[in-house]
């Protein structure tokens, strides 16, 4: 059986590669990688590991599904020539990396997933918050709109993939151009007042500090003019109303 190791690079290039991940790189016959992972090419050359950047298969302006198919086909071609392949991806492989779930469904491959520091990890650090204090929800923008999930304003929300709302193309050079932001604004205004604060957040990376743009729910379309493929939308929680509190439990806590 062929082995595919999918490795999370974290958010700060080679600075975030774990010792566990490096051990798995040593075991692979060839290393592939996707995305602008700072310092990786130099690092792999210094270690004299067989490697190839396959980011070019993720074409700007192409249909997203076609891009994923090109990447998958490239990896399958490499698995014909090598018994053990490593694929390094940005962040954490389990957070928003579509092809991971697709490879997981292939029983003919021995799949191993190596976690990395995710954008969620770095964003909560940028925001100086503990996500379990009010509770936190992570959700994909298109699924939030399509499935019309009920949103509880008492929870924090991190909305991912806000760069491609209703857009099947990979427009990473100009994501705001065809981004159907009005659908997300309509959705949020059903759950929040138009004055509720929003933060468009690009987390700290290898060579850049965290970037935050602040706006209001009623100004979402203006705020998302700053959107890139590296940004997510953070919606801070609102305190619950007194009437919603479990007073029986409150009194129990006060008497213990």
pLDDT digits (tens, 9 = 90+) for 157-181: 999 999 999 999 998 889 999 999 9
**Pick from 14, 11, 8: nearest CA to 205:** 11
Question: Which pTM does this prediction carry?
Answer: 0.92
Q: What confidence tens digit (pLDDT) does each residue in 176-229 have?
A: 999 999 999 999 999 999 999 999 999 877 667 889 999 999 999 999 999 999
Whole-number pLDDT of residue 212: 94
pLDDT at 241: 77
Q: Give per-10-residue mean pLDDT for the chain (256 aa).
A: 96 94 96 94 95 95 93 96 97 93 93 96 95 96 98 97 94 90 97 97 80 96 93 93 85 92
pLDDT of residue 59: 93
**pLDDT on residue 208:** 74
Domains of the chain by start residue, with CATH: 2-117 (3.40.1010.10), 120-235 (3.30.950.10)
Cα 75 off chain centre by = 21
Q: How far is CA 78 from the centre of its chain?
A: 26
Q: In terms of Cα–Cα distance, which of 250, 243, 151, 133 is closest to 191?
A: 151
Share of residues in the chain with pLDDT > 70 (%): 99
């Amino acid at each position: 059986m062929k082995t595919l190791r999918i490795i999370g690079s974290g958010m700060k290039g080679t600075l975030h590669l774990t010792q566990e991940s490096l051990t798995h790189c040593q075991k692979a016959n060839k290393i592939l990688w996707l995305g602008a992972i700072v310092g990786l090419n130099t690092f792999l050359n210094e270690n004299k590991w067989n490697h190839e950047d396959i980011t070019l298969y993720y074409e700007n302006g192409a249909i997203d599904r076609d891009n994923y198919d090109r990447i998958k086909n490239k990896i399958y071609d490499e698995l014909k020539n090598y018994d053990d392949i490593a694929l390094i991806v940005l962040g954490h492989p389990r957070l928003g990396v579509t092809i991971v779930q697709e490879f997981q469904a292939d029983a003919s491959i021995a799949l191993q997933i190596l976690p990395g520091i995710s954008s969620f990890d770095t964003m909560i650090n940028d925001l100086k918050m503990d996500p379990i204090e009010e509770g936190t929800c992570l959700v994909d923008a298109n699924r939030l709109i399509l499935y019309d999930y009920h949103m509880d304003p008492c929870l924090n929300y991190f909305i991912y993939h806000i760069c491609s709302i209703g857009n099947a193309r990979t427009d990473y050079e100009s994501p705001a151009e065809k981004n159907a932001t009005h659908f997300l604004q309509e959705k949020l205004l059903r759950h929040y007042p138009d004055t509720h604060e929003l933060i468009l957040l690009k987390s700290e990376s290898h060579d850049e500090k965290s970037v935050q743009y602040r706006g209001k729910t009623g100004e979402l379309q203006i705020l998302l003019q700053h959107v890139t493929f590296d940004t997510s939308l953070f919606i801070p929680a609102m305190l619950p109303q007194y009437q919603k509190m479990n007073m029986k439990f409150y009194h129990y806590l006060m008497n213990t």
